[in-house]
Amino acid sequence: MSSFSAFGFFALAQGKRVATYPAGATFPIHHNHYITSLKSNSDDVPNPSATLSVYSASGDAPLPDNTIAFVVAKVSAPTGKPVEMDALYLAAFPGDPNDDQYEERIPACPVFVYGVGHVPAIHTPQSHNDGSKSFTLSLTEYVSGTFKSSAVSCTYPATKRWANVPLPRSQSCTQFLGTCNGFSDSALLQIALDHVALSLGPHSITQPAADTSTDSPAAATTPARRRKYGVIGSTATPSSAAHPSTVSAAELSGGTPLPAIELQSINCRYLTRLMSFMSSNKSKRPAATLSLSSAPDDDEIDDVPEETPVKGKGKKKARH
């Protein structure tokens, strides 16, 4: 796992168009080559020299000298030699580079360097007189048609933010982002860190293998570890508590099934009198279906007269 790149504003000069023939290719591939430098984060620090290669389509002419461009590029930083860069993206600022106001519209921003690499096995971190700390990182990137190795010196600034940040261990994988800070004492490209991630490793979620043995049944029934945050949520569904209860009038009276009546729509007083009325007339009247719309009112239930028995063979019904 390794990567090495830079992005920022670059001044380009001495552009020339170069044709190359890849293996087995019939037609050449053209690139524009420039000389440039990596702007450091301080005027007191030298700007490392560099070369930049940019893919050139048919008919693209090199940019004029001193053109400022925003560039994202892959990097190789050989010790004691100019930094080599292959542009992934280039956007030149419009205008006349010879105009005195050309650079006034461009911010004075140092070049940012990003990388993922490994700390060498034989490595001794260094502490400097100004309170800063540094370590060496080895990186590999595909530049100019081949993989090239580089070594850079990454520095923790002498600030409270970095006072308690540990240095990476030997042979550990480390990610960094920082600004160009000239050269180290050992002539390595030096990076003033703005961000670092220590001890990187492959990030994967592995599922435990199913236990097919019968010797330890307890292991097969062990529940999976409950995570504090899950990726699968639940969907709300209507519950019985969210709706009024319904019962059938037949369940209450034990007679002919009646339509379901919502208990919340009938007060207790009405229900009590209705049940009393139904029980007193159950054996004398044929069962009928009672709907909520045709149910008697409270006054009607109170006014129902009792039937008077009549002597003789027949029985007369009470007059209403």
> For the segment 139-169, what is each residue's pLDDT rounded down to a tens digit?
999 999 899 999 999 999 989 999 889 999 9
Instruction: Note the pLDDT of residue 131.
Output: 77
Which of helix, strand or coil describes residue 193? strand
11 close to 36: Cβ distance less than 8 angstroms? yes
33 close to 52: Cβ distance less than 8 angstroms? yes
> What are the distances in angstroms from CA 110 to CA 178, 187, 221?
10, 19, 59
| pLDDT tens digits, 268-283 | 666 667 677 666 665 5
- Quote the CA–CA distance of 106 and 299 in Å, as a whole number: 92
The sign of the torsion formed by the CA atoms of 90, 96, 98, 100 equals: negative
Classify residue 234 by burial, with Cβ atoms within 10 Å: 0-12, 13-18, 19+: exposed
Percent of the chain whose pLDDT exceeds 90: 46
Classify residue 71 by burial, with Cβ atoms within 10 Å: 0-12, 13-18, 19+: buried
Domains identified in the chain and CATH numbers: 3-98 (2.40.50.140), 114-200 (2.40.50.140)
| pLDDT tens digits, 49-68 | 999 999 998 778 999 999 99
Enumerate the β-bridge partners of residue 49.
37
Predicted confidence band of residue 261 (pLDDT cuts 50, 70, 90): very low
Assess whether pLDDT exceeds 50 at residue 263: no
